Amino acid sequence: MQEIAVSALIVIGAAFTFIGSLGLARLGDFYSRLHGPTKATTLGVGSLLIASVIYFSTSGSGVSLHEVLVTLFLFITAPVSAHLLAKVALHLGVRSIAPPPPQVQSARGAEGAATDQRSAPRGSGSGASTTRATG
């Protein structure tokens, strides 16, 4: 019984992991590719880790729950990385099938101006240091 459950969870988890990477490889634009790894791969690895919990808890000595920690960690961090990556792609203006909404464009202009302002003194500083070094 326990072996059947572990085997089923392992195969299902590996299949979801594979489908997540398949989505990464074959979908059309970056924002669509983002969906595969965030959802399918996270659930796949979660399922594999639950299989590991069942396997080590029933065969080894005593309860083994520490895989839950990795699962929780992945479930918390995967959406955060996905959000950051989407933000980066919007910031860089990566090509997208869906039309990007106008409010991002205006905010991006403002943000770009702010970063330009901040990077300007740093550039001049490095220029000054190189002139000093050559002088």
Partner 1 sequence: MLRHWLPHPLLTLTLVLVWLLLVNSFTLAQALLGLFLGWIIPLFTLRFWPDRVRIARPWWLVFFLVKVLWDILVANLAVALLILGGQRYTRPAFVPVPLELRTELAISILANTVSLTPGTVSAWLSPDRRTLLVHGLRVRDPDALAREIKGRYERPLRDIFEPPC
Partner 2 sequence: MLSIALIIAITLVCGALSLSLWRLLAGPSDPDRILALDTLYVNAIALLVLLGILLGSALYFEAALLIAMMGFVGTVALCKYLLRGDIIE
Using CA atoms, how far apart are residues 49 and 43, in angstroms rounded to an integer?
10
Q: Which residues contact 65 (CB under 8 A, 6 or more apart)?
A: 53, 57
**Nearer Cβ to partner 1, position 29 or 116?**
29
Q: Work out whether 49 is an interface residue with partner 1 (CB under 8 A).
A: no
Q: Work out whether 14 is an interface residue with partner 1 (CB under 8 A).
A: no
Q: 33: how many CB neighbours lie within 10 A of its CB?
A: 17
Tokens of 108: 């991006």
Among partner 1, partner 2, none, what does residue 100 contact (CB within 5–8 Å per kind)? partner 1
Among partner 2, partner 1, none, what does residue 92 contact (CB within 5–8 Å per kind)? partner 2
Among partner 1, partner 2, none, what does residue 35 contact (CB within 5–8 Å per kind)? partner 1
Q: Work out whether 11 is an interface residue with partner 1 (CB under 8 A).
A: no
Say if CB 34 and CB 86 are below 8 A apart: yes
Using CA atoms, how far apart are residues 72 and 122, in angstroms rounded to an integer?
40
Among partner 1, partner 2, none, what does residue 115 contact (CB within 5–8 Å per kind)? partner 2
Q: Which residues contact 81 (CB under 8 A, 6 or more apart)?
A: 38
Using CA atoms, how far apart are residues 111 and 133, in angstroms rounded to an integer?
33
Q: Work out whether 80 is an interface residue with partner 1 (CB under 8 A).
A: yes
Applying CB under 8 A, which residues contact partner 1? Answer: 16, 19-20, 22-23, 26-29, 31-32, 34-36, 38-40, 42-43, 63-66, 68-69, 75-76, 78-80, 82-83, 86-87, 90, 96-101, 103-104, 107
